[in-house]
């Protein structure tokens, strides 16, 4: 094999490796896949709000409904601040969502959360996160 052919094969291999890595990162950008055919609705009281600042990790609600506790994945904290989400412990919520795949615990990926007179839509009817197209506003001046 000529040196040029070896170089082309090496360059192609590197390209494939980089493309695969980018595809994997894009696929995981919005977390686990939402399955609209497995939607459920829960009503309960928020016992805890877990916020992960500065990353793409979603804010979590711990919701108690009767004797069952469920973790509800919302959206990244920065997105929730942008849409003025102010859910706090003690709030009554109604969540429409789908069970998170491969989750060992009761965990729901929220599509819609109703609290008070407010409805927060986090995913479209197919389960695509609305924050995927979100562009943060620039603050300051």
Domain definitions of the chain by residue range:
1-30, 36-133
Region 74-96 average pLDDT = 91
The helix/strand/coil state of 82 is helix
- Give residue-wise pLDDT tens across range 89-133: 999 999 999 999 877 678 999 999 999 899 999 999 999 999 888
Quote the CATH superfamily of domain 36-133: Nucleic acid-binding proteins (2.40.50.140)
The C-alpha R_g of the chain, in whole angstroms, comes to 20
pLDDT digits (tens, 9 = 90+) for 28-69: 455 688 999 999 999 999 999 998 876 678 999 999 999 999
The whole-model pTM stands at 0.73
Q: How far is CA 80 from the centre of its chain?
A: 11
pLDDT band, very low/low/confident/very high, at 83 (cuts 50, 70, 90): confident
């Amino acid at each position: 094999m000529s040196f040029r052919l070896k170089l082309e094969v090496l360059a192609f291999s590197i390209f494939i490796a980089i493309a695969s890595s980018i595809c994997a990162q894009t696929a995981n950008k919005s977390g686990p896949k939402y399955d609209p055919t497995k939607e459920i609705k829960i009503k309960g009281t928020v016992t805890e709000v877990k916020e992960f600042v500065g990353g793409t990790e979603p804010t979590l609600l711990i919701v108690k409904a009767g004797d069952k506790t469920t973790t509800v994945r919302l959206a990244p904290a920065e997105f929730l601040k942008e849409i003025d989400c102010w859910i706090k412990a003690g709030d009554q919520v109604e969540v429409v969502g789908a069970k998170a795949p491969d989750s060992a615990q009761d965990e729901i990926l929220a599509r819609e959360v109703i609290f008070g007179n407010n409805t927060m839509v986090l995913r479209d009817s197919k389960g695509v996160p609305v924050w995927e197209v979100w562009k943060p506003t620039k603050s300051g001046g």
